[in-house]
Structure 1
Amino acid sequence: MFLSLRAEVEDALEGALAALDLPTDDLGIEEPPEDVPAVVASSVAFRLAGELGTAPPQAAAEVADEIDAASLEYVSAVETQGPYLNFLPSAAYYAETLARGVDPAYGHLPARGESVVVEHTSANPTGPVHVGRARNPIIGDAVANLLDAAGYDVSRHYYVNDAGRQMAVFTWAYETFAEDDLEGEPERDRAEYDLVRYYRKGNAYLENADPADVAEAEAEIEAIMRGLEERDEAAYERVSAVVDQVLGGMKECLARLPAEFDRFVKETQFMLDGATDDVVARLKELDGAVYEEEAWQLDLEDQGIDKNLVFLRADGTSLYPTRDLAHHEWKFDNYDRAVTVLGEDHKLQARQLNATLELLGNDTGQLRQVLYSYVNLPEGKMSTRRGTGVDLDDLLDEAIDRARAEVENRLDDRIRDDDLDEEDIERIAHQVGIGAVRYDIVSKQPTKAITFEWDRALDFEAQSAPYVQYVHARCCGILAEGGFDLDDSLEAQGVALEADAAERLETDAERELLETIARLPAVIDEAADDLEPHQVATYTREFAERFNAFYRECPVLADDVDEDVREARLALVASSRHTIANALSVLGVSPPRSM
C-alpha cells in the first residue's frame, strides 16, 4: 500500500506545483520523523522558496493549499510543519493494508515481463567451498530471491570454470596418481573432499619433482588445454570426469544454505560452439589490439584502465576473460538483464570486461555487478594458503551445533514443559543456525568487510536472525492457539475479513505495525533497484521491534478482549506472519513455526 500512497502523493504534488506554475522535477519525497504521524513527507518547499519569493514554511503552506486531500484515497490530510508537508494515512490505507497482508504472497510485486540472469558463487571446482567465499552464494541467492519477489523472471546460474590450467592440472593428477599416492583421508565422505587430494598432490609434484618429470607432466597438461581449444571430444570427456564429480559435491554443500541453481553453465560451452574464436577474431580487429610480450592484448587506456586485457596466448589458447566475454554476449542474447556477484578482488576484471564488451558493440546497460568483501573469523582473514582455511561445511556444522545448544538451554530455562521433541529441536537448530549465518552475512553492505562472531549472530535478544525468526514463531503460536490452520490462508479456512476490521485497530502500536506492514512491497522494490538485499534485513529488524511492541501492549486472545477486536488483531497477526516470512525468504532465512 505504501507504493500506492506514494504514487498518489507524487501525483498530488505534481498537480499542485503545476497549478502554481512551478517545476515538478524534484518533489522532495522523504520519510518523516518518528514523532510525526505521517507516512511520507516532502521537503519541496526548500526548493520552491526562492521561486515564490517567500520563506520555506510559507511555500509549504501554499503548496498544501493547492492539494485537495478529500479527493485522495489513501491520504486523509496534508499538514505542514515548518517547511515540510506531511501526508497522513486514511482509513482506506489501513483497511487495504490489512486486507492485502492476510494474503500468503504479500510483498511480492506483479510480474514485470523482464528476464534477469543472476550469476553467483562460480567457485572453481577444485575442492570444497571455502568459508571466505561464503558471502558470494549467500548474497547471490538473496539478490536472486529479491529480484524474483520484485516481479522479475529470474534464472540462477553457476558459471563453471572447466577450461583453465587449474582444471588441466586437476585432470592430469586424477589420471596419474593412485589412491595410495595421496596424503591423508578425505575430511568428509563427499566427492570434492576426496578428489581435492589429487589436485593438491598434482601441485606438490609440479613444485618438487625432478625437472625432467615436471616437463613431461607439463606437456600432458598443455595437451589437455590444447585439446579443449581444438574442440577435441576426448579432452572434454577427460576434464568432465573430474569437474562433474567435484561439482556434484559442491552442489550438496551449497544446498545446505540453501543456494540452488537453475543452470550450471560451463566455460567450455563457449569453446565448443565457436563463440570464443569469434570473440578473439573481433578483438584482433579493434584499434587497441596489440601483440606484445608473447600474447594478444587489448589496450584499454582510452577507457581509463591502465592494465591491458590479455585475451590470447602466443600458443593460440584463450584465457578466462576471453571466454567470459563470449559468456556475457550469450547472456545478452538470452536475457533482458544480467547481474553478476563478484569478490572485491575481481574489481579490475569487471571494469575490463565492461569496457571490452562496449568496444565489441554491446549495451552494458544490461549488466550490473555486485562486488563484495570477504568474510573473516575473529582470528583474522581466512586463507588456505596460510593454513587457516575453514570450509563452509565446517561453519554450517558449527552453526547448527551452537544453535542446538542454545535451543536446549532455553528449553531448560522454561518454567512450563514444552511439547518440542528431538525432531523439533533438530529442525529448529538447522533453521536458526544456518539462518544466523545467512542473516549475519547478508545484513551488511556487501562492500564492508565482515568478521563473523558467533555470540552476535546467535543472540536471541539482539537484532540477529533468531530475534527476527522468533517473531514468526510467535505469530504462528498465536494463530494456532486461536484455532487457525497454519498450512492454509485465512480465506481458505473460510475466514472473511470484515470491511471495518482495520478500524478496530486503534492503538498506536497497532497502527504503527500496520504502517510497517504496508512498507514491505516498497522495500522490496527499492532494494531490487539497488541490488541491496541488506535493505530487507534492516526492514526485518524494524518490523520485529514494531511487532514486539504490539505484542506487549495489545493482547490478542485474552478473555477480556472484545470479540471484534480479537478478530481484527488475529488478522493483524496473520498479516504480520506473512510479512516477516516473505521478508526472511528474500534473505534465504527460514521462518520457524516454533522456537
Structure 2
Amino acid sequence: MNLFTDIGVLVTDAIGALVAEGTLPEGLNLAPVTVEPPRDPAHGDMATNAAMVLAKPAGQKPRDIAEALVPKLSADPRVATAEVAGPGFINLRLAGKVWQEIARDVLTEGADYGRSLMGEGKSVNVEYVSANPTGPLHVGHTRGAVFGDALASLLDYAGYDVTREYYINDGGAQVDTLARSVYLRYLEAHGREVEFADGTYPGEYLIDVGAALKAKVGDAYVDAPEEKWLDEVREFATEAMMDLIRADLKLLGVEMDRFFSEKSLYGTGRIEEAIGALRAKDLIYRGTLEPPKGKTPEDWEPREQTLFRSTAHGDDVDRPIMKSDGAWTYFAPDIAYHWDKVGRDYDLLIDVFGADHGGYVKRMKAAVSALSDGTVPLDIKLCQLVKLWKNGEPFKMSKRAGTFITLRDVVEQVGPDVTRFVMLTRKNDAPLDFDFDKVLEQSKDNPVFYVQYAHARICSVLRKAREAGIDVDDPVLAGADLSAMTHEAELAVAKKLAEWPRQVEIAAKTSEPHRVAFYLYDLASDLHALWNRGNDVPELRFLQEDDPDTSRAKIALARAVSVVISAGLGILGVTPVEEMR
C-alpha cells in the first residue's frame, strides 16, 4: 500500500474525467504529474503539480486547470480539502480516517509494508568492495562495503533481482609484490633476518601467512630462486588474503553472491574475445594520443599504441589497452570482466568505486556502452573518504596493518551495527567524519542510538502490555478501533509512516540508501515526540490504565513504527534492538 501512489491515481482519474468532458484535450502526457508532500507542511498533507505541467501542452492557464480539478478531487471521501495555491499548485488535506488507517495497513502487511514492485524483477549486478587481495580491508573499503551492501538490499526491497559481486584483482603486479612479501615472512618463520624493501607489504598480518606457508612446504623454498616459488606463493598468499577479506566482510555482515577472479581472464582467451568484440565494431585501432594536459614537449614522448575508441561512447580521450611490450594495460581485463557481466544478461550494472577512481568512470562506462551497444546501463558510484576521530584527534593507524586503519579496527571499536548506520548518514559522494566517541553517545545527536532507542521503547511498551494481560499480537492490534487517534502528535507519526513506501522508491531510483537512514531518524523523532507528549498529556500514553481497547489502539500505532524501523534497519544491514544496554 502506497498512499501517495493511491492519491496519484485519484489525480490522474480526475484528469481523465476532464478529458472525457472535453475540458482538457486528449493525448496529454501524464508522466510529469506528481503527488508529494508540500515543502511547507502548513500548506497541507500532499500537493500536486498536475495543473502546472499540463498547462502548456493543453494550451490553458494552470490556474484554470487547477480550479477544474479541485471539485473532482474534493468529491473523494479521502480528501478533506483541496485548494489552489499560487499559479496553479493544488494542496490537499486528507481526512483523519485516512491517517488512522495507516497503522492498520502496516500491521496487516507486516514486513512487506513499503516493499515495491518498481524493479519489476529486473536483474541488477552490484559490484562493490573489490579490494586488491594484498591485505585486510581498510576504512575506505568499509564505507564502500556498507554502501554497496545497503544499495543491494534497497534494490532487492524495491523489486529488483540483485546479485552481489566481488571482483578479485589478482591478475596484476600487486599480487607478485604480495608473494614476495609473504616469502620474506616465510624466511622469518625459518629464523632468517629479512628487510622489507620499498614497495613490499610490511604489515604484521602477513606473519601468520608466512608461518602457514612454512607449515605447508617446510624449507623447500628457502634460498630457492624466485622462479621456483613465485607462482605457488602468489596463489597461496592470494587465497590467504581472500580468506582474511571474507572474514572481515562477515564481521561487518556482508556476504557476496559471487566472487570473480581477474586472473581467470588471463591465458583463457577471454580478454582477446572482449577486445575482439570491440574490434569488430571498429573501436580498436593503432594511434598516437595527444600529450596529457600539463605535459611539456621535453617530458612527453609520443608513441603509437593500441587504443580503444572510447570517445565514440562519451569519454574525453581514447584509452590504451596494450602496452608497448605487448602486455595488456590494466584497463583491458576490466573490459573483459564487464564483457562477461554484459553476457550474463543483467538489465543494469552498478560498480561501487573508491574516490580515487573518479578518472576511471567515463572510460568504463564507454566500454560497457560499446560492448552492449548501449543496451546495458552502467552506473558507477564513488565513495568519498572517511576521516576517523577519537578523543578529539585523528585516529592513528593500525600497527597490524602497518599503514592504515582496518575494517576490523573500526568494527571492534563500535560494533557492526553502529559502523554500518554511521557510514550511511552521509551520501556516498560526500566526505564522512567518523568520531568514535560521538557514535557511541546516547543522545539525540547520535542517529543510530536515537533510532534504536525508539525501537527499544516500543518493545518495552509491548512487554508491559503483555504483563498487564493485554493481547498485543499483530492481528489483534490490526483489528483495533483506531478512530480515537486524533491528536496532532499521533497523526504526525501516522503521516510519517505513510511516507515509507514513497521513500523506498525514491531511494531506489536515486541509488541513495542514506535516504533510508534519514527517514528512520525522522520517524524515530516523531515517535519520541509523541512519547514525551505523553508525560504531560496522559491520554497520549500508549498504555491506558484499565482500558485495554484504547491501549491496543495506541499501541497499534507504536507497533507499526517498530515494523517500519525494523524493515528500514534491515535494508541498512543493522539489527534492531529490543532493549538498550
Structure 1 length-normalised TM: 0.78
Deviates more, 1:534-543 or 1:355-364: 355-364
> Which residue of the partner structure matches residue 35 of structure 2?
29
1:97 to 93, 102, 107: 102
1:290-301 to structure 2, matched below 5 A, reads 290=286, 293=303, 295-301=305-311
| Structure 1 residue 520: Cα displacement | 1.1
1:395 to 410, 422, 437: 410
Contact 2:176 2:234 in 1 (8 A): yes
Sequence identity (%): 27
Distance 2:481 2:264 in 1: 58
> Which residue of the partner structure matches residue 490 of structure 1?
473
User: Could you say if the C-alpha distance between residues 466 and 523 of structure 1 is closer, same or farther in structure 2, counting changes exceeding 3 Å?
Assistant: same
1:11 maps to amino acid: T
Distance 1:147 1:8 in 2: 24
2:82 to 67, 75, 78: 78
> Which residue of the partner structure matches residue 417 of structure 2?
435
> Which residue of the partner structure matches residue 565 of structure 1?
550
Contact 2:313 2:370 in 1 (8 A): no
1:264 maps to amino acid: F
| Structure 1 residue 395: Cα displacement | 1.8
Indicate the SS of the match to 1:370.
strand
> Which residue of the partner structure matches residue 240 of structure 2?
245
User: Could you say if the C-alpha distance between residues 282 and 115 of structure 1 is closer, same or farther in structure 2, counting changes exceeding 3 Å?
Assistant: closer
1:119 matched to 2:124? The reply is no
Distance 2:120 2:85 in 1: 38
1:366 to 360, 377, 390: 377
Distance 1:294 1:81 in 2: 65
Tell me the matched-pair count. 523
Contact 1:132 1:383 in 2 (8 A): no
1:223-242 to structure 2, matched below 5 A, reads 235=231, 239-242=234-237
| Structure 1 residue 579: Cα displacement | 0.5
1:397 maps to amino acid: E
Deviation string for 1:487-525 (max 9, x for gaps)?
A: x9935xx63632x62323221111121111121121111
1:331 matched to 2:345? The reply is no
Distance 1:51 1:308 in 2: 43
> Which residue of the partner structure matches residue 170 of structure 1?
178
User: Could you say if the C-alpha distance between residues 513 and 460 of structure 1 is closer, same or farther in structure 2, counting changes exceeding 3 Å?
Assistant: same
1:152 matched to 2:163? The reply is no
User: Could you say if the C-alpha distance between residues 484 and 58 of structure 1 is closer, same or farther in structure 2, counting changes exceeding 3 Å?
Assistant: farther
Deviation string for 1:68-119 (max 9, x for gaps)?
A: 44446x5444233444312233466335522231213432234732221111
2:355 to 344, 356, 362: 344
1:555 maps to amino acid: R
> Which residue of the partner structure matches residue 116 of structure 2?
109
User: Could you say if the C-alpha distance between residues 275 and 489 of structure 1 is closer, same or farther in structure 2, counting changes exceeding 3 Å?
Assistant: farther
1:544 matched to 2:524? The reply is yes
> Which residue of the partner structure matches residue 460 of structure 1?
442
Contact 1:271 1:277 in 2 (8 A): no
What's the RMSD between the two structures over aligned residues?
3.7
Contact 2:70 2:83 in 1 (8 A): yes
Contact 2:383 2:430 in 1 (8 A): yes
Distance 1:370 1:482 in 2: 46
> Which residue of the partner structure matches residue 320 of structure 1?
330
| Structure 1 residue 59: Cα displacement | 5.0
Deviates more, 1:244-253 or 1:390-399: 390-399
Deviates more, 1:503-512 or 1:83-92: 83-92
Contact 2:398 2:404 in 1 (8 A): yes
Distance 2:58 2:278 in 1: 57
User: Could you say if the C-alpha distance between residues 496 and 563 of structure 1 is closer, same or farther in structure 2, counting changes exceeding 3 Å?
Assistant: closer
> Which residue of the partner structure matches residue 471 of structure 1?
454
Distance 1:104 1:192 in 2: 44
Distance 2:174 2:351 in 1: 22
Distance 2:267 2:477 in 1: 59
User: Could you say if the C-alpha distance between residues 84 and 360 of structure 1 is closer, same or farther in structure 2, counting changes exceeding 3 Å?
Assistant: closer
| Structure 1 residue 383: Cα displacement | 8.5
| Structure 1 residue 5: Cα displacement | 2.5
1:63 maps to amino acid: L
Deviates more, 1:470-479 or 1:274-283: 274-283
User: Could you say if the C-alpha distance between residues 54 and 299 of structure 1 is closer, same or farther in structure 2, counting changes exceeding 3 Å?
Assistant: closer
Deviates more, 1:448-457 or 1:335-344: 448-457
User: Could you say if the C-alpha distance between residues 98 and 356 of structure 1 is closer, same or farther in structure 2, counting changes exceeding 3 Å?
Assistant: same
Distance 2:549 2:408 in 1: 50
| Structure 1 residue 2: Cα displacement | 2.6
Distance 2:246 2:509 in 1: 29
Distance 1:316 1:341 in 2: 30
| Structure 1 residue 261: Cα displacement | 1.0
1:88 maps to amino acid: R
Distance 1:49 1:520 in 2: 31
> Which residue of the partner structure matches residue 61 of structure 1?
67
2:409 maps to amino acid: D
Indicate the SS of the match to 1:341.
strand
> Which residue of the partner structure matches residue 388 of structure 2?
377
| Structure 1 residue 568: Cα displacement | 1.0
2:379 maps to amino acid: R
User: Could you say if the C-alpha distance between residues 349 and 76 of structure 1 is closer, same or farther in structure 2, counting changes exceeding 3 Å?
Assistant: same
Contact 1:344 1:372 in 2 (8 A): yes
Deviation string for 1:403-438 (max 9, x for gaps)?
A: xxxxxxxxxxxxxxxxxxxxxxxxxxx4xxx33332
> Which residue of the partner structure matches residue 141 of structure 1?
149
Distance 1:84 1:353 in 2: 43
> Which residue of the partner structure matches residue 356 of structure 1?
367
Distance 1:372 1:353 in 2: 17
2:371 maps to amino acid: L
1:128 matched to 2:132? The reply is no
Deviation string for 1:264-304 (max 9, x for gaps)?
A: 11112333653212123344553452266475332434555
> Which residue of the partner structure matches residue 412 of structure 1?
none
Indicate the SS of the match to 2:382.
strand
